[in-house]
């Protein structure tokens, strides 16, 4: 019994369509795979912790990575100031950011709202964050 008469062989155009589909599916799979593999690496995570200038009350140690993990959206804070070291002080010096705006309108406000919602949060008073330099 000859099996060849039961197998349908594609003509040239059908074969090209099959090859084109396989190539397109492969390209889509590679693009999706590479975007997933590099999504975390491409993001600028910034420093794990930062020390923010706190004026006369003293510097403020800021657990940056911890805030990134909890807030997820960087724009929660960085809509007010850019993701650049020293940007808060720079904007204050230019008169584009009020002195206590970041601490009062972002940090303390968020901590108080989180506490009010019954969740664990960071400090809600100035003295708990600012570290005065020892004389």
Alpha helix stretches (DSSP H) within 43-86: 64-71, 75-78
In a domain, 65, yes or no: yes
Q: Is 116 domain-assigned?
A: yes
pTM higher than 0.85 for the full model? no
For residue 25, pLDDT over 50 is answered with yes
Q: Which domain holds residue 100?
A: 50-122
Q: Is residue 10 part of a domain?
A: no
**pLDDT of res. 42:** 45
Residues present in the chain in total: 135
Q: Is the pLDDT of residue 15 over 90?
A: no
Total tally of structural domains belonging to the chain: 1
| Helix (H/G/I), strand (E/B), else coil: 23 | helix
Q: Is residue 22 part of a domain?
A: no
Under the banding of pLDDT at 50, 70 and 90, the label for residue 88 is very high
> What confidence score (pLDDT) does residue 18 get?
86
Q: Which of residues 7 and 135 earns the better pLDDT score?
A: 7
Q: Give dist(CA 43, CA 46) in Å, integer.
A: 9
Query: Considering the domain boundaries, does residue 131 fall inside one?
Result: no
**Alpha carbon distance 62, 48 (integer Å):** 9
Within-domain flag for 74: yes
Inside any domain, residue 86 = yes
């Amino acid at each position: 019994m000859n099996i060849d008469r039961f197998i349908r062989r594609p003509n040239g155009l059908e074969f090209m369509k099959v090859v084109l589909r396989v190539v397109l599916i492969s390209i889509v799979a590679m693009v999706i795979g590479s975007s997933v593999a590099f999504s975390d690496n491409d993001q600028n995570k910034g420093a794990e912790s930062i020390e923010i200038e706190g004026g006369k009350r003293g510097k403020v140690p800021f657990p940056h990575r911890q805030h990134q993990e909890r807030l997820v959206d960087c724009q929660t804070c960085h809509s007010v100031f850019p993701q650049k070291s020293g940007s808060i002080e720079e904007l204050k010096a230019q008169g584009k950011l009020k002195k206590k705006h970041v601490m009062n309108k972002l940090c303390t406000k968020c901590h108080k709202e989180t506490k009010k919602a019954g969740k664990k949060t960071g400090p809600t008073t100035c003295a708990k964050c600012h570290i005065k330099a020892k004389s």
